């Protein structure tokens, strides 16, 4: 086991933290839940920094790291909704968006052509706002009360960015499919070969 496995070990540890986080959330021990959430956040930044700084990136990490983040946020949102701290509207819009994006990208990858989907800027903003919302709600429950208007406004911002980012992914997928159809997604060499073959056919 080499040093290049450190980011993956940190990611696995973050996955393991999801269970105690859910337990303490359910028991309404919000202080401990907040501490675990902060540790998970720090570990997320740390494994990404190490992977990029020392080129310790791997296929396992590229799949497990964002999956761990998604599962942690899903559990946090679900429990906060069940505790009456967030709305079911936020939960269902966020969950439906993720299911739609992952399902659509997977279907396109296997039914049309291999396609590597990368997070867009609006999607990154959505994730950042969602993490901030969960963090502030936990602070509100664990340490001191925050203005409800602040939390409600942030929740609305998360919902809006969920919708916008979902529509943006649909547009990107449509554009990519159209580019594939007219051949503009091909490499220049492939397009040149295609043009040469077409000319040959015309001459023949």
Whether residue 186 has pLDDT greater than 60: no
The region of weakest confidence among 24-38, 54-68, 141-155, 171-185 is 171-185
Mean pLDDT across the stretch 135-162?
A: 96
pLDDT for the residue numbered 64: 81
Q: What are the CA-CA distances from residue 120 to residues 49, 62, 165, 166 (Å)?
A: 20, 16, 8, 10
In angstroms, the Cα distances linking 20 to 3, 46, 157 are 27, 21, 29
d(CA 195, CA 172): 27
This prediction has a pTM of 0.80
The mean per-residue pLDDT over the stretch 47-52 comes to: 78
Closest CA to 127 of 170, 77, 64: 77
- Taking 70 as the threshold, does the pLDDT of residue 167 lie above it? yes
C-alpha span between 157 and 85 (Å, rounded): 16
Q: How far is residue 71 from each of residues 1, 18, 61, 113, measured CA to CA in Å?
A: 27, 8, 15, 27
Predicted pLDDT at 54? 75
pLDDT at 181 over 70: no
Query: Packing angle between helix 121-142 and helix 59-82, nearest 10 degrees?
Result: 50
């Amino acid at each position: 086991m080499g040093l290049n496995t450190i980011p993956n070990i940190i990611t696995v540890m973050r996955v393991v933290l999801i269970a105690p986080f859910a337990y303490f959330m359910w028991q309404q021990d919000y202080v401990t839940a907040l501490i675990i959430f902060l540790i998970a956040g720090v570990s997320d930044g740390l494994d990404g920094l190490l992977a990029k700084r020392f080129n310790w990136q791997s296929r396992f990490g590229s799949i497990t790291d964002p999956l761990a983040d998604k599962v942690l946020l899903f559990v946090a949102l679900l429990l906060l909704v069940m505790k009456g701290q967030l709305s079911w509207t936020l939960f269902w819009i966020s969950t439906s968006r993720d299911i739609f994006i992952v399902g659509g990208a997977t279907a396109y990858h296997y039914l049309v052509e291999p396609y590597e989907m990368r997070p867009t800027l609006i999607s990154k903003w959505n994730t950042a706002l969602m993490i901030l919302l969960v963090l502030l709600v936990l602070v509100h429950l664990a340490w001191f009360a925050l203005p409800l208007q602040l939390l409600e406004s942030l929740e609305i911002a998360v919902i809006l960015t969920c919708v916008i980012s979902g529509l943006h992914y649909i547009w990107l997928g449509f554009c990519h499919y159209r580019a594939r159809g007219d051949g503009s997604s091909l490499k220049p060499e492939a397009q040149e070969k295609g043009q040469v073959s077409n000319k040959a056919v015309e001459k023949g």
